[in-house]
Chains A and B, each alone.
Chain A
Amino acid sequence: GAGVSQTPSNKVTEKGKYVELRCDPISGHTALYWYRQSLGQGPEFLIYFQGTGAADDSGLPNDRFFAVRPEGSVSTLKIQRTERGDSAVYLCASSPVPKLHVSEQFFGPGTRLTVL
């Protein structure tokens, strides 16, 4: 079946511009996560959705970052007034509702954001 997809795969923008990054999770997965991976680092958590609501947004670095998931499926990560430090690979992951233990998160290929 189809995995997690993310669009665009690459995004180049200028400092100060607004960008939107899209994530299509695996069908039926209720949990959706956004992570950010800077060069040479492991991914860092940004935000977690359970259904339509953001269950935990403690990883968002500041109020320029916002994410939505209005129908409990597709999610959009929005970054306002981009800065060069926002350049990174943005990863999306989804997982099903776990029955017993922590369930595996399935990752998309990521969107590479470059802010010039």
Chain B
Amino acid sequence: AQSVTQLDSHVSVSEGTPVLLRCNYSSSYSPSLFWYVQHPNKGLQLLLKYTSAATLVKGINGFEAEFKKSETSFHLTKPSAHMSDAAEYFCVVSDRKYGGSQGNLIFGKGTKLSVKP
């Protein structure tokens, strides 16, 4: 069965410093992995996705994530935090149990990112 574990429920950084949000996954298949962001009172937005192409994935707003199969990790990083990055971030794996390329998403519990001025 697929699952994701987000190692930190809350991360606090200062504006202009690097961001690291950690995620480990468990998957029976070659996984498709995503990071979604949820700002208060707004819908979930896709930041980036990994689908077995390049292991370093670049997303929107300067975020990127690296797929490391040996460590079963998919950590999200950003070189310099901005105040507008404050939000809840979800690491997600696609459950490809249908055998094809479509599947429902399995979410981690989320990491709340706070950015201090």
Interface of A toward B, CB cutoff 8 Å = 3-4, 31, 33, 35, 40-45, 48, 50, 55-56, 59, 91, 93, 95, 98, 100-110
Contact = CB atoms under 8 A, between A and B. Distances in A.
Interface stretch (B12-20, B61-69, B73-81, B95-103): B95-103
A48 B95 CA distance: 12
29 contacts: A35-B105, A40-B109, A41-B109, A42-B109, A42-B110, A43-B90, A43-B105, A45-B104, A45-B105, A56-B98, A59-B104, A93-B44, A93-B105, A98-B101, A98-B102, A100-B101, A101-B51, A102-B49, A102-B51, A102-B101, A102-B102, A102-B103, A103-B101, A104-B46, A106-B46, A107-B44, A107-B45, A108-B43, A109-B42
Interface of B: 32, 34, 36, 41-46, 49, 51-53, 90, 92, 94-96, 98, 101-110
Contacts of A107: 36, 43-45
Nearest to A102: B32
A112 to B, nearest CB: 10
Which 8 residue pairs across A and B have the least CB separation, nearest first?
Answer: A42-B107, A101-B51, A107-B44, A45-B104, A102-B32, A109-B43, A107-B43, A102-B94
B87 to A, nearest CB: 14
Nearest to B36: A107
B102 A50 contact: yes
Contact of B107 (A43, A104, A109): A43
